[in-house]
A and B are shown apart, each in its own frame.
Chain A
Amino acid sequence: MFKAKRRTVVTVTAVVAVLLAGALAATLLTQGKGNASDDFVTNQAGQRPLAPDITAKSLTGAAISLSSYRGKTLVLNFWGSWCAPCRAEAPTLAYLSKEHGSKGVAFLGDDVEDTPQNGLAFERSFGITYPSFNDPGYLVAQEFYKVAPVNDTPTTIVIDKTGHIVGEVLGEVSFGEMTTLLQDAAVIQ
């Protein structure tokens, strides 16, 4: 009886140790993959979190409030002139802002870790006419950390007419992703 008990103890110990080891191995060998890129998030209607209301200075020094965009669908793009994927997606956003500007869709940028001069030069290069926040310290981006984390540069968040978050694209946007989000926001058919 004692023999059996001891063997059980050894077996249980072995199983526990192997399980712990497996968990630890998984931890140690797979860590450091936190920077997800090209993630696409959509929120079901009725489960859309409310976007924070933010007021901050633009690249030209004017004060902009997110709440002033109520009644319009808002595309909020976080970018930097130094960021290669942002430069790659800039023509797409410039095109979409002109294409949908008359259909009740507004575009707004948030220029992170940048200087206004660099940001304005970027806008001139790509023909971007909508304004951008001047956000060198990611303070505007941080306001979204609970509802739509800005975990990559670029990140694009779509906010509906009532100020709720329809979804976000982490990484470079594509026409397809933007079309899906704008359709979800019930702007384009």
Chain B
Amino acid sequence: MTDVQTPDTQAAAQGEPAQGEPAQGEPAQGEPAERDAARQQLAPDAGWGRWAWRQLTSMRTALILLFLLALGAIPGSILPQQGADPASVTQYFASHPALAPWLNRLGLFNVFASPWFAAIYLLLFISLVGCVVPRTFRLVGSARTPPPRAPRNLARLPQSSSYASALEPAAAVEHAAGILGKQRFRLRRPDAGGTDYWVSAEKGYLREAGNLLFHLSLLGVLLSIAAGGLFGYKADKLLVEGGSFSDTVSALDEIHPGRLVSDSDFAPFSLTLNKFTANYIESGESIGQPSNFDASVTYTASPGGQAKTYNIRINDPLSVDGAKVYLIGHGYAPEFKVTGANGQVTYSESTPFIPENTSTFESDGVVKAPDSSLGFEGVFVPTAITVAGTLESIFPSADNPEVSLNGYYGNLGMNSGQPQSVYQLDTSDMTEISGSPHLLQPGQTWTLPNGKGSVTFVGVKQWASLAVTYDPGQVPALVCGMLALAGLLVSFFVRRRRVFVRAVPAASGTGSIVTVGGLTRSDASGGFEEEFAELAAEISEAETSPAQSSTQSSTRPSDPDAQP
């Protein structure tokens, strides 16, 4: 606990070498006594509360929470996330049937919305608020506080030097004060009428301001993220080439709205996917790796507006009506035509299949034709070869597409009203059609036995998965992040430093002995020694009779007694 400076103990630790900080009310020594008194006044429960509050708002706790936040984000970037890529989550469940449910219970597929992540976030937020708000009051107080009185023995300070001056003590001190004042030090002189001749000077208040700016900006970042969570939304939409959607609640596949987002807050734009292009490396070591994605879209910002075109690429989203549309995934949508027993078409659609293997794009999907009581489970391969009787894909582009279908006849269970996944076929009330699985190339038709109808593999289109995000907190978060960095730099490079000058009459009767002492609270960037030496030299050399002055400088290593 002692290595941590809570707001209160920090004030005590930074107690001044001499008394007199009216805004803080108490000298350094008075602090523990005051706290004990406060503790006695409060009930034991309140004492515990106070202790817990102080622990929570300590810098150590804040750092631990910040570390936990970073740690919590790791599974968010390693495991597929429900919000960003639901298809990969489904895929993960399929390939890790034992592990995935446990990870799901821990919320690891939706880390950023999980209660434990929220708890870390909230505790960090409270910790920062509890640290920063009292700090703001203290900074305002400290900015209005004059420097402390000069210590009696300046030679005991870490930096000190003395010289003999031809001036009387009062004039010598006044002369030094003039030089310090010109260097924009804040000055303090003794009360009038005393026989003590000294001046205290302090500089570097900007350090606290930078520190404060950093903390306030950090709060700003958190508030911006919270604002994004409250007023923003994130939604996914899968579109087959030629397909379109409008940004309404029912048209989007999956929506994660903020608490304060109402259904009419969605930007009323609409968008059509004209063409999706994916290029793959065709030779060499990284054969099959994607080299380029491009989704060509036409959009209108509001109903009846002018149609515009745009090419959405990875890291090149479409900005429309305050929302951003990102390209987050793609795949193949084989087109099927199904006819029923009476020969009438009951299904004709490009059906999105989900890639099970992202290097070969072997994909799974289902076709549901409830109006002819037919259902098919299919595997699509873009570049088919047959290895020992099984269908495999060797390349991700659709060079030699082929599908393998398992047919089912019966009740698909859709008329009961229970919503179903479009990627799963409920075969519990269905019977498998003989001749399954059946291989089809584009244009080929499988005529089902017993006059149950037919299915035709018409051709293949591609689909693109788009994420629509609206985050009003993004720009404020960036600005606050930059301000936080600026504040941090200021607090690192600006030193809070004090210089004291004291003069006593010389033993010879005329002139005086002037002692200059200096200390800095924290000299992380170094350089105070040089600054002090220059300053001391300037004070002594600017005297009217420089020949008489003999400067004697001493630099002591950090003296624990003198260190405030």
Instruction: Specify which of B243, B368, B415 lies most central, judged by the most chain A CB atoms within 10 Å of its CB.
Output: B415
Q: A85-B417, A87-B370, A151-B248 are in contact. Are A32 and B256 (CB under 8 A)?
A: yes
Assess whether A3 is in contact with B417, with CB atoms less than 8 Å apart.
Answer: no
Docked Cα-Cα span, A84 to B118, in Å, equals 35
The answer to whether A112 has its CB under 8 Å from any CB of chain B is: yes
**Which residues of B (175-189) have their CB < 8 Å from a CB of A?**
none
Q: A9-B134, A118-B349, A142-B303 are in contact. Are A26 and B248 (CB under 8 A)?
A: no
Among A13-21, A67-75, A179-187, the stretch in contact with B:
A13-21
Docked Cα-Cα span, A184 to B34, in Å, equals 72
Interface size on B, residues (CB 8 A): 66
Chain A residue numbers with a CB within 8 Å of B256 are 31-32, 34
Assess whether A112 is in contact with B251, with CB atoms less than 8 Å apart.
Answer: yes
The answer to whether B346 has its CB under 8 Å from any CB of chain A is: yes
Assess whether B130 is in contact with A13, with CB atoms less than 8 Å apart.
Answer: yes
Chain A residue numbers with a CB within 8 Å of B251 are 112-113, 137-138, 141-142
Interface size on A, residues (CB 8 A): 60
Q: A13-B130, A35-B249, A149-B264 are in contact. Are A84 and B418 (CB under 8 A)?
A: yes
Per a CB cutoff under 8 Å, which of A7, A30, A82, A121 touches B372? A121
Assess whether B346 is in contact with A87, with CB atoms less than 8 Å apart.
Answer: no
The answer to whether A10 has its CB under 8 Å from any CB of chain B is: yes
Per a CB cutoff under 8 Å, which of A7, A24, A30, A145 touches B125? A24
**Which residues of B (236-282) have their CB < 8 Å from a CB of A?**
243-251, 255-259, 261, 263-264, 266, 268, 270, 272
Chain A residue numbers with a CB within 8 Å of B371 are 81, 118, 121-122, 124-125
Assess whether B130 is in contact with A84, with CB atoms less than 8 Å apart.
Answer: no
Per a CB cutoff under 8 Å, which of B113, B137, B417 touches A31? B113
Chain A residue numbers with a CB within 8 Å of B418 are 84
Chain A residue numbers with a CB within 8 Å of B24 are 2
Assess whether A141 is in contact with B130, with CB atoms less than 8 Å apart.
Answer: no
The answer to whether B287 has its CB under 8 Å from any CB of chain A is: no
**Which residues of B (298-319) have their CB < 8 Å from a CB of A?**
303
Residue of B nearest to A52 (CB): B303
**Which residues of A (20-58) have their CB < 8 Å from a CB of B?**
20-21, 24-32, 34-35
Assess whether B244 is in contact with A121, with CB atoms less than 8 Å apart.
Answer: no
Proximity string of chain B (83-116) to chain A, C-beta cutoff 8 Å, 1 when within and 0 when not: 0000000000000000000000000000001010
Q: A17-B126, A20-B129, A137-B244 are in contact. Are A118 and B347 (CB under 8 A)?
A: yes
Assess whether A24 is in contact with B226, with CB atoms less than 8 Å apart.
Answer: yes
Docked Cα-Cα span, A114 to B38, in Å, equals 71
Per a CB cutoff under 8 Å, which of A2, A10, A82 touches B26? A2
12 residue pairs from A and B, CB less than 8 Å apart: A6-B134, A13-B129, A16-B129, A18-B126, A24-B125, A34-B233, A34-B261, A87-B414, A88-B416, A117-B347, A121-B344, A121-B372
Which residues of B approach A to under 8 Å, CB–CB?
A: 24-26, 34, 38, 53, 113, 115, 118, 121-122, 125-126, 129-130, 133-134, 137, 226, 229-230, 233, 243-251, 255-259, 261, 263-264, 266, 268, 270, 272, 303, 337, 340, 344-349, 368-372, 413-420, 422
Which residues of A approach B to under 8 Å, CB–CB?
A: 1-3, 6-7, 9-10, 13-14, 16-18, 20-21, 24-32, 34-35, 78, 81-85, 87-89, 112-115, 117-118, 121-122, 124-125, 136-139, 141-143, 145-146, 149-153, 155, 172
